[in-house]
A and B are shown apart, each in its own frame.
Chain A
Amino acid sequence: MNLGESIRVAWDSIRANMLRSILTTLGIMIGITAVIAVVAVGQGGQQSIMKEMEQFGSNLFYITMDWRRDELPTGREFTMNDIEIIKANVPELEYLLPCAQTFSTIKSRDKVKTAQVFGTEADYAHLHPLEITAGRFLNNSDCLGKRRVVVIDEELAQELFPRTSALGKRIIIDNQTMVVCGLLKAENSIFGMGTKVIYIPMRVWLDIYPGGSISYIEGGTRSPEEVKTAMQSSVKILEKRHHSKDLYQGVDMEQEIQAVNKVTGVMTLVIGIIAGFSLLVGGIGVMNIMLVSVTERTREIGLRMALGARRRDILIQFLIEAVVLCLLGGIIGMALGIGGAFLISALAKWPPLISWTTVLLAFTFSAAIGIIFGILPANQAANLDPIEALRRD
């Protein structure tokens, strides 16, 4: 019997018990659905993060205090002097910025909001794709002259000043009056996730929050090749100035991307294990129903043998039936998974990424389950004694 005929026979017998077949394959369906949906959403998310990181630029680096230490030695935080000295001594640097952040309440005349108050300097706009829609970003004289100005995003501006433009208006941040000098286009970032950020000059930030300190330093070079050198030189100067080894940590984009890949790698592994178990359970379900099918069709098997089916014809027939059953579940699962991925992504606001590899893998996997869990029933069918089988009711 050729393959086409075998598939037709398998399909006929599956169709004859349609409800049972669908229920049997439910485990596989759910397994494949889960894998496809989660992988698509996960890969889509990873892609979005990567894109965002690439937008940040590969000529950027950060220097932070090593957070993994149990206690940070006090008195060794970054200072504005550090920034000036590094700038003067590392020729590869194009920009070097102090950054600090804290949550605060923001008040207008009649509204109160919370936002992250971000202290930095004018060059921040050169390193990050900020879109100014009105007014201007912080400039050098704001920063050096400690002007009490603030840049906020349009959405926050709209919330604080529903009726008029916020530009030039006074707002109160932690009891300090500031003037809005610029508006930013509201951003839709995975990192942001609904948190509003407002920018003020670094020196003003240090004045408003006397207990606070610069939380990290951001640097930029002219070319990506210079990042490593500039970062290492900067860390060395900090270590020398603060007399401490291994406290300051430089991170560039390459490392960040590796870190993200590591996280998504672990995620994929966990999902893979869960999917593996659900497919295992699904496979056992298929094996179970195939065993029932063999018992039910003992006479048919006997007859086929009497009419000239060899053992391997019977074996292949039942294997194909198991594979077709699993593929049925796999295909329905794939459709549901792709639908689910779009649904989840619509809620999470990033596009799903459905790769051919995933689809092909799911397809192959369902077929493989069919073969693995079909072997036992198929073998049982093939080893029936035709005389006994024909006698069975």
Chain B
Amino acid sequence: MITMIKMEQINKIYRPQSNPVHALRDVSLHIKMGEFVAIMGPSGSGKSTLMNVMGCLDTPSSGAYHLGGVEVSSMNSDQLATIRNRKIGFVFQNYNLLPRMTALHNVELPMLYAGVEKEERKARALDCIGRVGMLDRIHHRPSELSGGQCQRIAIARALVNNPDIILADEPTGNLDSVTSLEIMNIFCSLHQENTTIVLVTHEDDIAAFARRVLHFRDGKLINDEILNPHLTEPSAVEGGGDI
């Protein structure tokens, strides 16, 4: 199986001169294509920093990071922007949809920066919105959508450029338990379609949807746990897609 993420001896030190904070210490991990991984840890454990590095929003102080076979740890900001655009789909806790735009335009946004033609943009956006079951809401603005609906649109947006990995940072943090379940079922169905998903959460029951959990503490990977796949049986996943 292809290795999507390969991190070797990643360190991240903030303010190295004055008051150094060691956010990541010698983190090494591999994530293969199609894996569904949860990252857990208390606040200050370095999981946000890891997400930023993994998402190419930040570069490590030292170590090697291969994303989809490309070494990205020494890229400049423009190259990283292109990597984020093509290889990573972000899902945020607060959805981060642009309030002035309709759902459809929000989903089209990453393709604008990829230079996709108008017709294809719309077709691909509609396809992804269909996958999250929101085709009846494409002309609504975020303010006219519920939290769960916003998050579905945000997931569709993460999918449109066909990224190597989906990075979801506390995607259910702002949602009630029923809606959280709906969103997690969408992730499960994406996982079924062989999408690589990395999920940051501090809730055990959300992490339980993943097949593998990485535990962090004080900037270190302290436990790499393979879960018993009983919670993501095919029957539960198929049900999730229809909600």
Contact = CB atoms under 8 A, between A and B. Distances in A.
B52 A387 contact: yes
A300 interface: yes
A45 B55 CA distance: 66
Contacts of B114: 308
Nearest to A299: B96
Contacts of A303: 96, 98
Interface string A129-161: 000000000000000000000000000000000
Contacts of A387: 52, 57-58
Nearest to B117: A2
Interface stretch (B75-83, B126-134, B170-178, B179-187): B75-83
B100 A16 contact: yes
Contacts of B47: none
Nearest to B101: A12
Contact of A307 (B52, B100, B109, B115): B109
A360 interface: no
A310 B82 contact: yes
Q: Which bucket holds chain B's interface residue count?
A: 20 to 34
A13 B90 CA distance: 24
**Which of A310, A311, A312 has the most CB atoms of chain B within a 10 A radius of its CB?**
A310
A309 B81 contact: yes
Given A12-B100, A308-B84, A1 B77 contact: no
A308 B85 contact: yes
A235 interface: no
Interface string A315-357: 0000000000000000000000000000000000000000000
Given A1-B112, A300-B98, A387-B58, A307 B84 contact: yes
B86 interface: yes
Nearest to B89: A307
A239 interface: no
A304 B109 CA distance: 8
Contacts of A312: 78
B110 interface: yes
Interface in A271-328: 299-300, 303-313
Interface in B64-108: 77-78, 81-82, 84-86, 90, 92, 96, 98, 100-101
Contacts of B85: 307-308
B150 to A, nearest CB: 13
Given A306-B90, A387-B57, A311 B78 contact: yes
Nearest to B121: A5
Interface string A1-44: 11001000000110010000000000000000000000000000
Contacts of A309: 81, 113
B50 to A, nearest CB: 13
A290 B36 CA distance: 43
Interface residues of A, number: 22
Nearest to A305: B81
A390 B92 contact: yes
Contacts of A12: 100-101
A386 interface: yes
Given A386-B57, A387-B57, A387-B58, A308 B113 contact: yes
A310 B84 CA distance: 10
Contact of B81 (A2, A13, A300, A308): A308
Given A12-B100, A306-B84, A308-B84, A313 B113 contact: yes
Given A13-B100, A16-B100, A390-B92, A311 B77 contact: yes
Contact of A310 (B78, B96, B100): B78
Interface centre among B81, B85, B100 (most CB of A within 10 A): B81
B55 A306 contact: yes
A186 B218 CA distance: 99
A307 B78 contact: no
Contacts of A306: 55, 57, 84, 90, 96
Residue in B52, B90, B113, B161 whose Cβ sees the most chain A Cβ within 10 Å = B113
A390 B96 CA distance: 8
Q: Among A13, A299, A300, A306, find the residue whose CB has the most chain B CB atoms closer than 10 A.
A: A306
Contacts of B86: 308
B82 A308 contact: yes
Interface string B41-64: 000000000001001011000000
Nearest to A386: B57
B96 to A, nearest CB: 5
A5 B86 CA distance: 19
B205 to A, nearest CB: 26
A307 B90 contact: yes
A369 to B, nearest CB: 25
A304 B101 CA distance: 13
Given A16-B100, A303-B96, 5 more contacts: A1-B112, A304-B113, A307-B110, A386-B57, A390-B96
Interface of A: 1-2, 5, 12-13, 16, 299-300, 303-313, 386-387, 390
27 contacts: A1-B115, A2-B115, A5-B112, A12-B100, A13-B100, A299-B96, A300-B98, A305-B57, A305-B84, A306-B55, A306-B84, A306-B90, A307-B85, A307-B109, A307-B110, A308-B85, A308-B113, A308-B161, A309-B81, A309-B113, A310-B78, A310-B82, A310-B113, A311-B81, A313-B81, A387-B58, A390-B57
Interface of B: 52, 55, 57-58, 77-78, 81-82, 84-86, 90, 92, 96, 98, 100-101, 109-110, 112-115, 157, 161
Question: Which 6 residue pairs across A and B have the least CB separation, nearest first?
Answer: A308-B85, A308-B113, A310-B81, A307-B110, A310-B78, A303-B96
